[in-house]
Chain A
Amino acid sequence: MNRPGTLRWLLPALVVVVSVGCAGARVHERGSDNARSARANLESLKANPELADRAPAELQEAESAVRTAETTDTRDGTLRQHLGYLAEVKVETARAAAEQQLAEDQGKAWAAERERQRNNLSAADAEALRLELAALKARQTERGYVVTISDVLFTTAKWDIKPGAAKNLDRLVALLQKYPNLTIFVEGHTDSQGNDAYNQDLSEKRAGAVKDLLVSRGIASERITEVGHGEGLPVADNKTASGRQQNRRVEIVFEKLNLP
């Protein structure tokens, strides 16, 4: 640490303190240079379109610290300076929080762009696909988009697809035909009736049945990976008949598909 530099600060500060703090300035003052510069920085943050809305809680806290620094009515110059300092630091904290959020948003946008290119989609196609997935009631999960095909797909202990249920897969077939670079996981699940090994086998057969159906409609089998999960990942209560029916399902997972 640089001692002469330190002394340069020590002397003026001492003078300020003695004259304002102890001798007692007669006039109460509000704000400080710190408070004014905190206000200016806060206003410039609020005027920055990329940052203004990205850290509302921190911005609120900064606003309140700046206001306190500006309005505290005291003859205590050191208190004014203290509040001004806190205000400055909180404004900087809000700025950093907003910059963090901005960077995270940009990172997500780049990741989405990368996915779009990986799937060989134009920006317009990506938007259309997003809408089509929404029509299929796809859920967005950590892994990617997941479409559940549960409605009366399988009878207990069976893996052949009920004739009516096959129509539910038509939309999926159309989507896969339209976007030939998409690959999917077809994942089978069972209810809790029967033992684990049996259900594991049954879930694989269910996944296989859906894969076969897709292949029979002209989807290349290399695009489809089948997986059986047994009874381990229920989505509903296995104690009721309707819960068990929901658990007898196949999920179509568009892994890592991350659309804008």
Chain B
Amino acid sequence: MTFILGSRIPSALAAGLAAALTVGCATTPPQPPPTRELQAAESSIVGAERTGAAQYAPQELRVAREKLSVGHKARQDGHMTLARRAAEQAQADAELATARTQAAIARAQAEQARGDVP
């Protein structure tokens, strides 16, 4: 199952799994495909990549990408609730990747400025 994420992210895994497995329940009313959420997740991931997340927050970036692919797959299979939640989590993960990357860059620059002081 592609949505199984690394064991280092147990909460992501549990949430993803739980979401995946509930969709089968008959009580869920039909949902429209989460096209907007998937696009938002995608552009957040691209944003994170541009910031340098592959270098500074690879773990968070990987999680975001994996959840995005879970989302696309779930939409294809008609599991719209799972698709939407996966997209929302992917976007949040990508934004975290961006924020951690920017923080790491700012810290490196601050260190540099500190080193410049005689």
**Surface stretch bound by B, among A40-48, A95-103, A136-144, A149-157:** A95-103
- Does B103 lie within 8 Å of A13, measured CB to CB? no
Minimum Cβ distance to chain B for residue A21 (Å):
4
- Does A93 lie within 8 Å of B96, measured CB to CB? yes
- Does B93 lie within 8 Å of A21, measured CB to CB? no
* A147 at interface by CB-CB < 8 Å: no
Minimum Cβ distance to chain A for residue B107 (Å):
4
* B31 at interface by CB-CB < 8 Å: no
* A111 at interface by CB-CB < 8 Å: yes
Closest B residue, CB atoms, query A16:
B18
- Does A99 lie within 8 Å of B107, measured CB to CB? yes
A8 to B10 CA separation, bound complex (whole angstroms): 10
A97 to B13 CA separation, bound complex (whole angstroms): 25
- Does B18 lie within 8 Å of A117, measured CB to CB? no
Closest B residue, CB atoms, query A37:
B11
- Does A114 lie within 8 Å of B15, measured CB to CB? no
- Does B25 lie within 8 Å of A22, measured CB to CB? yes
* B29 at interface by CB-CB < 8 Å: no
* B19 at interface by CB-CB < 8 Å: yes
Chain A interface category by residue count: 35 or more
A-B CB pair tally, cutoff 8 Å: 137
* B69 at interface by CB-CB < 8 Å: no
User: What residues make up the interface of B, taking CB atoms closer than 8 Å to A?
Assistant: 4, 6-7, 10-15, 17-19, 21-22, 24-25, 27, 85, 88-89, 92-93, 95-96, 99-100, 102-103, 105-107, 109-110, 112-114, 116-118
A14 to B4 CA separation, bound complex (whole angstroms): 13
* A216 at interface by CB-CB < 8 Å: no
Residues of A within 8 A of B27 (CB): 24
A117 to B27 CA separation, bound complex (whole angstroms): 70
- Does B110 lie within 8 Å of A17, measured CB to CB? no
User: What residues make up the interface of A, taking CB atoms closer than 8 Å to B?
Assistant: 1-2, 5-6, 8-10, 12-14, 16-18, 21-22, 24, 34, 58, 76-78, 81-82, 84-86, 88-90, 92-94, 96-97, 99-101, 103-104, 106-108, 110-111, 113-114, 117
Residues of B within 8 A of A93 (CB): 92, 95-96, 99
- Does B22 lie within 8 Å of A113, measured CB to CB? no
Residues of B within 8 A of A110 (CB): 110, 113-114, 116-117
- Does A100 lie within 8 Å of B89, measured CB to CB? no
A242 to B25 CA separation, bound complex (whole angstroms): 77
Task: Return the contact of B18 from the options A5, A17, A24, A100 (Cβ within 8 A).
Answer: A17
- Does B89 lie within 8 Å of A89, measured CB to CB? yes
Minimum Cβ distance to chain A for residue B99 (Å):
4
A22 to B18 CA separation, bound complex (whole angstroms): 11
A167 to B18 CA separation, bound complex (whole angstroms): 78
